[in-house]
Structure 1
């Protein structure tokens, strides 16, 4: 082993100790005949015992435990397994906090308007929007935190949720988390993908039940505002009947539940890197690409049906079709352990999750009321 750089004190890790720790894991999948140390990384020269994909898949977890990553290369007629320390990036959690506070404010403004507050003449009526804010932040936040917890459980690197304040009719464009590094297995891909929609939908149902038991505020629409009529999905209608709710006007908290169901539907579309795309990719493997390819076209046809046959506004489906057309074309990255199929329990859970998504579907989610 060439340890010249290490002896000079330029190495960033103890090469001998690292080799002794990692060697037993490496030789299971890679016959090593030479090891070199550049001071920045270790180079294991050898012959693969299995496919290239399996090598990185088998080594990902043990290397992660010691803070290393690996890359397999074929250079000048030799296979080289490059092992190097992972760069630790410090999370800028202040960004998450600032976005959370901003979204808390923007959603509270929208919630106050829904409650009939006149913020121009009475700014302190802003706090009338607090119930809606708590409800919508709980729905969106629980969805993303479920992704985060499950990703960390499987050893994946994920950021805390980033809420997105935006001047929409709910005051936000939702929330997201960032993943860094590979997905270790189809099992991990499924668990991370399914956790968000299921937890978010559970919270949406809870918020809907609470909101339907609250008295809807009397609201006089402002002269320059536009009122929206909501299309209620089957799950929402079922909850209405279950709690005995009547009346067309929804309390802002119940509306937050409706938003949660609509967000769940969009996230569960089986295409690209949406949650539904993750779940389907984990369930079917590379066969999922065919369904992902067809999904934008199905949405486009739904949009045309709503516009030309129902004479209603189907722009939401046209826009989502175009969105998925662009992003689904990129494809879905393969998990490291892509050949290990899911167990039957997860397959069943995936089917149930997609059925729940269908129960959140309505042809005309919302339309302007003249």
Structure 2
């Protein structure tokens, strides 16, 4: 049962915030909404920019309408979107299963012959789910901190070399300001990369496995960050990369791909927050750079550069869709966030490799 005293306190708090930009002369209630009648002190766009983050902190969304000669600001409870959580759970369980099959193969198991061998892949599953899950958890936690509506991660099971296509979360509603855009965009890659480094170190410390002599061989290109760790913790010659270290390698590749500063990738969000509308130019140019890089690697270096062609085509559609504009696009990030953005892009370069994988 609602407490009338708490309701009056909330209304008073809203009134104080709204009165800063919207001079209120009457308040009415209907259907759980609060109607503030008044006169705008500033442009409606500015009112949205200033009030949205303040009201969302109190659990309200709002609209402003002009009806019968009066401006009305309608504050409505910000109800969480109805999530079909069973989908998240089913996809997560399916991804655990598909990654365990891949992990079993990496550890030399034969899950096609013995179902019990699937359990051999559990260490790889734990490592890869930690890498991918931490990335999305970073986005989720920071988005919630900024009062944004976002879903739990959707893991994507897929029969490929790691057993998954990663994970995604869905954001709903507007982005409050550039700081929120920056924080949400940068949190996933940074947290995911930290976990990837930890997983890589754990993997390199494990007893190494002998190189497979039969079957499909895949030559992995290691980024500079992985090489630096590998120099501190060297592996034996003729040994294959340990599956747990491979999960760390995957995390670095995911970081590099996501930090490409284009479209609605994490790097696109971060760059948009850092330089504003100028980021559109990068979103237009980078897909062509990637496609050109792919052709260069394929036809000049005679290596497998298809991933960059595919990623460039993929990004060209994202770039065409544009980037959502924060409600408050004028608040500067500050020197701290700008420096962190530059450092993060450098880490993305350290996680990059020209030829991630080559079929043997």
How many residues matched?
A: 354
Paired position in structure 2 for 1:325: 316
The answer (yes or no) to whether the contact 2:193–2:252 under 8 Å persists in 1 is: yes
Gaps of 5+ in 1: 1-13
- Rounded Cα–Cα distance in structure 1 between residues aligned with 2:236 and 2:338: 38
- 1:53 equivalent among 45, 50, 58: 45
TM-score by length of 1: 0.88
Q: 1:78 and 1:314, CA in 2 relative to 1: closer, same or farther beyond 3 A?
A: farther
- Rounded Cα–Cα distance in structure 2 between residues aligned with 1:294 and 1:314: 19
Gaps of 5+ in 2: 1-5
> 1:80, CA displacement in angstroms?
4.1
Post-superposition Cα deviations, 1:87-109, rounded to whole Å, max 9, x if no partner, equal 33343333222222111111010
Q: Following superposition of structure 1 onto structure 2, how do residues 250-289 of structure 1 map, counting pairs within 5 Å?
A: 250-289=241-280
Paired position in structure 2 for 1:127: 119
- Rounded Cα–Cα distance in structure 2 between residues aligned with 1:179 and 1:19: 28
RMSD: 2.3
TM-score by length of 2: 0.90
> 1:66, CA displacement in angstroms?
3.9
Paired position in structure 1 for 2:225: 235
Q: 1:195 and 1:320, CA in 2 relative to 1: closer, same or farther beyond 3 A?
A: same
Secondary structure of residue in 1 paired with 2:210: coil
- Rounded Cα–Cα distance in structure 2 between residues aligned with 1:74 and 1:52: 11
The answer (yes or no) to whether the contact 1:116–1:218 under 8 Å persists in 2 is: no
> 1:356, CA displacement in angstroms?
0.4
- Rounded Cα–Cα distance in structure 1 between residues aligned with 2:142 and 2:237: 39
- Rounded Cα–Cα distance in structure 2 between residues aligned with 1:65 and 1:279: 23
> 1:308, CA displacement in angstroms?
2.0
Q: 1:15 and 1:247, CA in 2 relative to 1: closer, same or farther beyond 3 A?
A: same
Q: 1:129 and 1:336, CA in 2 relative to 1: closer, same or farther beyond 3 A?
A: same
Deviates more, 1:75-84 or 1:163-172: 75-84
- Rounded Cα–Cα distance in structure 1 between residues aligned with 2:100 and 2:211: 16
- Rounded Cα–Cα distance in structure 2 between residues aligned with 1:111 and 1:135: 10
Deviates more, 1:148-157 or 1:80-89: 80-89
Deviates more, 1:338-347 or 1:287-296: 287-296
Secondary structure of residue in 2 paired with 1:31: strand
- Rounded Cα–Cα distance in structure 1 between residues aligned with 2:188 and 2:7: 41
Paired position in structure 2 for 1:149: 141
- 2:339 equivalent among 348, 357, 361: 348
Deviates more, 1:119-128 or 1:139-148: 119-128
Paired position in structure 1 for 2:3: none
> 1:152, CA displacement in angstroms?
1.4
Post-superposition Cα deviations, 1:187-221, rounded to whole Å, max 9, x if no partner, equal 11111111111111111111111111223323646
Paired position in structure 1 for 2:297: 306
Post-superposition Cα deviations, 1:128-171, rounded to whole Å, max 9, x if no partner, equal 11111111111111111111111112222222222111111100
